[in-house]
């Protein structure tokens, strides 16, 4: 029997996961530099927090345990590809939101008024109020669907829903 961690399925899913995470963070950083200038961008623009690292590490550990013990769980190509589509859709929604907002988009919640920072109501913002959050939600959930991680999928949905439920009202009230 082929070693589960070096199987085609494992290599495909792990490389897609790593590629998705790298593309997400590098593109976020580059867009921040483009709209705000290199001097106004720090490593925090990579959006990597302690909680995020823990979540992604847990997802990888879950994947390794499951593909080692029950490799057939990871073999459903249809569901894995649905997750890949979710990753792409989430990425597109988020990046369109960032480009549409331009300089008004930052990774920090604004608590004071700036002249270039206003309510965006055109483009993708005319369809949904928080497209960058929606895009990240779809992207993150898609990573777990693609990896076929049932525990992380449930955890990601619950934690992200709670995070956005608390975060969205704050800028709306300021």
Most confident among 39-43, 123-127, 170-174 (mean pLDDT): 123-127
Q: 129: which DSSP letter?
A: S
Place of tokens 């894995």: 80
Q: What is the pLDDT, as a whole number, of residue 131?
A: 96
| 120 neighbors 104 (Cβ within 8 angstroms) | yes
Residue burial 10-22, b: 16+ Cβ < 10 Å; e: rest:
beebbebbeebbe
**Relative orientation angle of helices 8-36 and 77-101, to the nearest 10 degrees:** 0
Question: Does 50 score more than 50 pLDDT?
Answer: yes
In this structure, what token pair is assigned to residue 91?
């990425």
Q: What is the pTM of this model?
A: 0.89
Q: What is the pLDDT, as a whole number, of residue 120?
A: 85
**What H or E segment, with its residue span, contains residue 113?**
none
In this structure, what token pair is assigned to residue 145?
């669907």
Q: In percent, how much of the chain has pLDDT > 90?
A: 68
Q: What is the pLDDT, as a whole number, of residue 103?
A: 86
Q: What is the pLDDT, as a whole number, of residue 1?
A: 45
Per-residue pLDDT tens for 53-63?
A: 999 999 999 99
Per-residue pLDDT tens for 61-95?
A: 999 999 999 999 999 999 999 999 999 999 999 99
Radius of gyration of the chain from its Cα atoms, rounded to whole angstroms: 18
Neighbours of 141 (CB within 10 A): 20
Please choose, from the candidates 151, 150, 146, the residue with its C-alpha nearest in 3D space to the C-alpha of residue 17: 146
Per-residue pLDDT tens for 96-154?
A: 999 999 888 876 665 556 666 677 888 999 999 899 999 999 999 999 999 999 999 99
Please choose, from the candidates 126, 127, 120, 121, the residue with its C-alpha nearest in 3D space to the C-alpha of residue 106: 120
Phi-psi map region of 12: left, alpha, beta (phi>0 left; psi -120 to 50 alpha) = alpha
- Burial category of 135 from C-beta neighbours within 10 Å (exposed 0-12, middle 13-18, buried 19 and up): buried
Mean pLDDT of 32-47: 83
d(CA 132, CA 69): 37
């Amino acid at each position: 029997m082929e070693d589960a961690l070096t199987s085609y399925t494992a290599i495909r899913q792990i490389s897609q996961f790593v590629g998705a995470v790298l593309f997400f963070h590098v593109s976020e950083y580059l867009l921040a530099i483009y709209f705000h200038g290199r001097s106004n961008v720090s490593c925090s623009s990579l959006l990597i927090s302690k909680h995020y690292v823990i979540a992604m590490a847990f997802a990888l550990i879950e994947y390794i345990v499951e593909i080692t013990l029950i490799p057939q769980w990871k073999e459903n190509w249809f569901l894995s590809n649905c997750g890949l589509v979710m990753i792409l859709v989430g990425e597109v929604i988020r990046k369109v939101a960032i480009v549409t907002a331009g300089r008004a988009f930052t990774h920090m919640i604004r608590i004071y008024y700036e002249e270039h920072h206003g309510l965006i109501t055109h483009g993708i913002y005319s369809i949904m109020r928080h497209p960058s959050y929606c895009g990240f939600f779809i992207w993150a959930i898609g990573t777990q669907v693609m990896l076929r991680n049932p525990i992380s999928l449930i955890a990601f949905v619950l934690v992200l829903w709670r995070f956005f439920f608390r975060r969205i009202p704050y800028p709306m009230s300021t």
